[in-house]
Structures are given as structure tokens and as C-alpha cells.
Structure 1
Amino acid sequence: MDIGPVQDEQQRTSKVWTVPNVLSMLRLAGVPLFLWLVLGPEADAWALALLMVSGVTDWADGYLARRLDQYSKLGEILDPVADRLYILAVVVGLALRDVIPWWVALLLPLRDLLLWGLVPFLRTRGYSALPVHFLGKAATFNLLYAFPLLLLGDGEGRIASLAEVFGWAFAFWGIGLYWWAGILYAWQVRTLLRETERGAPAGVREAPGG
């Protein structure tokens, strides 16, 4: 058996300093900066610009990972973590600014807490995590558009009014899809628990896609 290709693949996926990973790290560094801009000087224009840069880099790191063949295990973790932290930072910032009600700000992290609570059950069957579902990606897409629009809508004039309308439209779709994806994840975990026996080493298998 030729283990050379296997070792090469492991070395390739274990790399840290790749272009996509650096972009994801920069996105993570922008999270506290965004909160400071929104809650400190209330520099909404700069906060919006930061969110736009974050959106571009979110697309760019996935594109470059495919284009440059720079997939890595770290990148698989950094990208969704950066998305969730940005969503959390935005909803907390907007809630503290009274742009959105607190029930909206609480709905999203509650869903993530639900999914994190399922991970120990997955590990009893030897699975480390569930794969990203297309509904989750669609939800993230809607939310990453919704909250910048709502921030832009926190003003006066026709543009602000239109931004608020479209922002809430994206927000309701995003929240609905976010929870729908969460329910599907929970159902998938239930199915795995019923159909898979205990005993496999935790984290050695990848759960089948939904």
C-alpha cells in the first residue's frame, strides 16, 4: 500500500498559513472592531464598510480555497466560526442600540446552543460533527445581508426606510431558515442515534450529508 499520497493529503490539509485561512483570521479580528464602531463612536458608515469587507472576504476565502486547492482542517473550522461570531456581534450590537428587539438577538444564539448540545450525543456514535447543510448556508446568506441593511435603516430618509424594509425581509427569512436548518440537524442526530450503535471511537467518522 502506497502511503505517500495519504501523507501528502494530511500535510496539505493540516496547513495553517494559507491565503483562505489568513482571510478568515482577518474576518475574526474585525468582530471586536465592529462592536467598537457600533457601540463606541457609533460610526455606522465605517461599521457598514467593515461588514461589506467581511462579506467579500467570506466569499473570497471559499473561492480561493477551491481555486488554489488550499483546503485545510483549520479553514473548515475558521469559516463557520467567523460567520457565527459576526452574526452574534451584529445582533448584540444592534440590540444594544435598540435597532432590533432583544427577542431577535436571542433567537440566533439559542439555535446554536441547541446544536452544540447535540455534539456529545454525536460523539457517542463516533461522529465529530454534522456537515454544513445548504439551508444553513442560505440562512447565513440572508442574515449577513439583513443586519447591515437594518443598521443602514437606523436613520432618516427614503434610503433608510427602504433599507429597513428590505433588512427585515432578509432577517425574517434568515431566522426562519436558520431554525429550520437547526431542526433538520436535530432530526439527523436523532436518526443517527437510532441507527448507529455505540462503541466507535469519537470523532473518527464524518456524518453523512443531509
Structure 2
Amino acid sequence: MRMRDTFIKPMHPEGKRFVAVFAVVALILFVIWEPLGWIGVGLTIWCYYFFRDPERVVPDAPGLVVSPADGVVSLIERAVPPPELGLSDTPLMRVSVFMSVFNCHINRAPVAGRVTRVAYKPGKFLNASLDKASDDNERNSLILEMGDGRTLGVTQIAGLVARRILCFTEEGAPLRRGERFGLIRFGSRLDVYLPEGVEPEVALGQTMIAGESVIARLDGPAS
């Protein structure tokens, strides 16, 4: 890998117009007062960095559940999945990954499977690190049906700053493990609802890399 590739990552197309707006504002600020212009340049670079879309090395061992987002594990608990998914009325193990405004915000499929449901629900914009954000905030949820018939739920949750959830997939579409399926702008959270009997293999505060970090093993820990 070249040194340039370490620092300069591809940008998702969704970010192009935002970077263009930041760049125009930076030029205007230069006209007003040069120090303000350099602040604008810094914000433009941050905007580009926010929409970065690096390639990821997805583990290919069978039965793995990978993180759907970059960030830190903020919650590990049993919780009832969003009612619009119709998954279960009994609590399932939920792992939440919180993304700050400095994390890459591309969302990736935790497992390979077919999308059997996509359900959007409007809501509030509370701090996404709070537990009640799962119930109160704007969200978009997916059900993935795996080859063995088991299902896994994943929910995109808007945050305090986030005002737009994007989903790139639709019902009936197949997804590969680690494949991009969405994006949330400017700070948010992803919840993964594991199948019954599957336990997480992560800890609170652990740093996650979308598509690479393992959250759980569908068939229990490796021997």
C-alpha cells in the first residue's frame, strides 16, 4: 500500500455535494477574512473525511457476525426488537455500536442473507448513545434471513446531529457479509439483534471496524 493511500481514502458519492458546499463557503470566508477561510478549509477536509468509504477486509470464516459500523460498543443487553420488524415479542441480545462524527459512517451487513423486511420509522433526534434512542429516535430497520433460516435484525438510528438515514438496499435483495447497505449523516448508532441463543463476543467500549470486527459467532465460540 502506498503512503498516500493510508491517508487519502475514497469518498462515497453521497458526500460530493456536501464537500462542494463546504468548499464554496471556505472561498467566501477567504474573501471576508483569511483566517476564517483556513477554518473553512479545515471543515471541508473534515467533511471529506466524514464521507470516506475505505475498502474493508471481510473475514470469510463461516458463522461470523461482523460489526455493521465503525465506532465503539455502547450497549450490550437483551431488548425487544423494534415492533415494526415483527421479529419477536421477547427480548433478544442486542449489541449497539455508537458512531461519533469522526467515524466512517458507511453501514455494512453483519451477515450474509436476504433482506426480508425494510421498515422506516420517524422519530426524535436524541443523543444516539442513550438507551432510549432505540425506541424514540428516527430509525430504519432491516431483517436479514440467513441460509439456515435464522434471522438477524439491524437498525440504523439517527442521533443528536444526524438528520438523514440512507438505506441502499430493498426487500428481497441479497446481501453479502460486509456489503455496504446504508449510511447515516453526522453521528448515529447501529443496533444488531442477534438470533436467539447467540451470545456476543465483544465488550463495552470496544472499538469496532465495520465489516471486519467480529461481534458474535452464530454457532458459538470456535474450539
Class of the TM-score when normalised by the shorter of the 2 chains? under 0.3
Structure with greater proportional helix content: 1
Structure with greater proportional strand content: 2
Kindly name which structure, 1 or 2, has the bigger radius of gyration based on alpha carbons. Answer: 1
Scaled by the length of structure 1, what TM-score is found? 0.25
